[in-house]
Structure 1
């Protein structure tokens, strides 16, 4: 008889901590059911269907990462390696469902023999013990039995992470730090919800709310197009996060930081086409329905992200825009995932050999001159060059 484990939670959102519990459970059970509970007492940030998709996407992200370890530099635990080997061989070993009644009833109905509970080092033990005792009483009243299997979060870096912590990071605009705690697909999905507050509304029909909602939906759809592994809302969020930091460190430096924000939102709306930057600028001019000095300046900032040009941007704002778009190159923690995501985005369009040739050419061009233009980014130059050289050696 198959051993089935039932892992229930609100998963609002599904974090890397949750994912690590699923991997550990796959080493103990023949099949794991991840169950999203409807909890009327909690106001969820994401719908049940959105949360189920986050779980599915997280599993796919981890499996994809396992295929690109040379690029992303990830180090998988023994449990993650074993779990992903099982999942890639037969993805039915993980089922994703939702339920509205008591967890024990849903588990019994699904044929599970054990309830799976994740436990962090600090703060969870007493609550888990109380829940386990209560479940035992409820099961006794039903003349049924379920084991409770407590799985400690296996990675120290994830022991203090919770869904509420991740949401707080997004609410504060700390999108880069949030990348540590959710997989790329979940991060991108959360950006769609949380980036709306960062879009400068005043450039669309004098801040008309309906027009602004339309523009944001347009942006989200464009950046969410199939195949956009890297040039998506997570990339926009990454740039906005660091721009916010620069604004705090250098108050009054930017004449109008909202112009930079506007340019960041539109700079990759068209991607992978000839003259993508010019086309992205044209989309901004069209949607903003105006040719004010601010809109024209934002369009020019978008053109500053055409990194094929050897000419350095002229204005300080254009240099910052140029450097923000390349900032990921200096990020030792996230560079590997960037390299993987760019590869996954372009490989279906051109094939591996053509991609390798084009990528080598691009990376070598970066190294021929200074990567960053603005003095704010000078301390990051050596880190960026080191990361680029490391990737170049792979091609």
Structure 2
């Protein structure tokens, strides 16, 4: 039996405003390699929010209620500090484009240098590369349906 100290745990950080089918695909694929994923909703006052942090936590807790290998929390610290608190050895990130790659590589290098925490990168499946929370929020603001961009079972709290 594995203890929490030798589990393969990853933090999956983001604002997830809202959580999309692209995010869901990354979680499902990563669970094939990891024992546990902590979906960590970052508190970022500089970003315009559609759903409050509490709403996002509740939506994702409901979505993953039947999967004990997925935890959900919010945080307001460096991701590597949260990783230490959660005994996570990895940070999970998704990449949709070359621009994402450049940004994520820089952050991964810094995180590894200051903490030893490795970043696991999964490339977004081609059918999801056009989906972003920013675009989904924009559609929501104008009253458009976003069901095709959200995972089955995710209930928006508005």
Common fold by TM > 0.5: yes
Q: How does 1:127-146 map to 2 (within 5 A)?
A: 127-139=103-115, 145-146=116-117
What's 1:7 paired with? 12
What's 2:84 paired with? 108
Task: Decide whether the 8 Å contact of 1:21 with 1:151 is kept in 2.
Answer: yes
Q: How does 1:367-378 map to 2 (within 5 A)?
A: none
Higher relative contact order (CA 8 A, sep 6+): 2
Give the secondary structure class of the aligned counterpart of 1:124. Answer: helix
Q: Compute the displacement of 1:3 (Å).
A: 1.0
Residues 1:167 and 2:137 aligned together: yes
**Higher helix proportion:** 1
Size of the aligned set, in residue pairs, is 153
What's 1:148 paired with? 119
Partners of 1:94 and 1:137 lie apart in 2 by 27
Structure 2 portions without partners, runs of 5+: 1-5
What's 2:70 paired with? 94
Deviation digits for residues 13-49 of structure 1 (CA, Å, limit 9, x no counterpart): 1111111111111111111111111112223221112
Report the TM-score, using the length of structure 1 for normalisation: 0.37
Give the secondary structure class of the aligned counterpart of 2:68. Answer: helix
Task: Decide whether the 8 Å contact of 1:122 with 1:160 is kept in 2.
Answer: no
2:33 corresponds, among 22, 25, 28, to: 28
Give the secondary structure class of the aligned counterpart of 2:60. Answer: helix
Q: Compute the displacement of 1:185 (Å).
A: 4.9
Report the TM-score, using the length of structure 2 for normalisation: 0.87
2:147 corresponds, among 169, 173, 179, to: 179
Q: Compute the displacement of 1:183 (Å).
A: 2.9
Deviation digits for residues 326-364 of structure 1 (CA, Å, limit 9, x no counterpart): xxxxxxxxxxxxxxxxxxxxxxxxxxxxxxxxxxxxxxx
CA separation of 1:7 and 1:128: change in aligned 2, threshold 3 A:
same
Deviation digits for residues 123-154 of structure 1 (CA, Å, limit 9, x no counterpart): 31111112112223332xxxxx1111001123
What's 1:56 paired with? 61
Partners of 1:53 and 1:108 lie apart in 2 by 24
Bigger-Rg structure (1/2):
1
Task: Decide whether the 8 Å contact of 2:35 with 2:69 is kept in 1.
Answer: yes
Give the secondary structure class of the aligned counterpart of 1:117. Answer: strand
Partners of 2:156 and 2:112 lie apart in 1 by 39
CA RMSD of aligned residues (A): 1.8
Task: Decide whether the 8 Å contact of 1:54 with 1:185 is kept in 2.
Answer: no
Partners of 2:37 and 2:18 lie apart in 1 by 19
Q: Compute the displacement of 1:188 (Å).
A: 4.2
Task: Decide whether the 8 Å contact of 2:64 with 2:70 is kept in 1.
Answer: no
